[in-house]
Amino acid sequence: MKKFFTTTGKALTFFLGWAILTGLMPFPDFSNGAVWRFWAELIPLLSAAGFTLLFWLPERRKLTLPLCSAPLKSAKIGFAAGVLWLGIAAGVLLLTGTMHITGYQQVPLLGLWILSALLNTIMQELLIRGYLYQLIKAQYSTAAAATMSLLMGLVLEYTQSLLAPTVMHFLWNCIGGILLGGVSLAEDYPQLYRTEFTGPVLLSGGAPKMEGSIVVFLLNLLLIAVFAALLKKRKQ
């Protein structure tokens, strides 16, 4: 019981502290939407990084934080899994006529928007699968920690590097959201291609778009099974 309250207390303090610090940090007022979004993603990332160091450094001898081990291999795995993840989902939806690309538009400062999406992805992965994940894993089990996001948790466990799920997650957000407009991001993010989803909600995903589609759900289950098998094989 003591372990439960200690772990819960640390997790809540970490998360609430991050939220409060993010809200208190000075935010520049920019009229340019791309520049504003960049700072809106950078500030929470800096806050998450600061809290991660604050909590992890005193426990670094007993709590591993695999941020970027085997970077080349991890990046390759994350890239390959991300391309398959998004490519198969988008391909099925396009071939079934559920997803339609209806137009193209110029996006000023596209590179800055993509960088902002990368910062957001790093922040999410560091916040959820960084210190908090390792804390729960150390105190309880990998299975308990992976319930935060089973697929990304398994990718992290297999590669032992936060880089792999970050690359995979970024490809999903950047290509699926900014380029194809099929993944829901913050409302002010632009879309290079205008995309519409039609047909039964079960297939089209409804308001969440691709992420609400049964195609992505089944694909997630398949990838979970693949990485679970790879992890089991590596341990054996």
* pLDDT given at position 162: 94
pLDDT mean across residues, the chain: 90
Confidence class for position 2, pLDDT limits 50, 70, 90: confident
SS (H, E, C) 90-145: HHHHHHCCCEEEEEECCCCCHHHHHHHHHHHHHHHHHHHHCHHHHHHHHHCCHHHH
* pLDDT given at position 228: 93
Confidence class for position 8, pLDDT limits 50, 70, 90: confident
> Would you call 191 helix, strand, or coil by DSSP?
coil
* pLDDT given at position 143: 59
User: pLDDT tens across 170-214, in order?
Assistant: 999 999 999 999 988 888 999 999 999 999 998 998 888 888 899
User: pLDDT tens across 145-165, in order?
Assistant: 574 478 898 999 999 999 999
User: pLDDT tens across 16-72, in order?
Assistant: 999 999 988 888 888 899 999 999 999 999 999 999 999 999 998 888 888 888 899
Length of the chain: 236
Query: pTM of the prediction?
Result: 0.89
| Dmax (CA) of the chain | 58
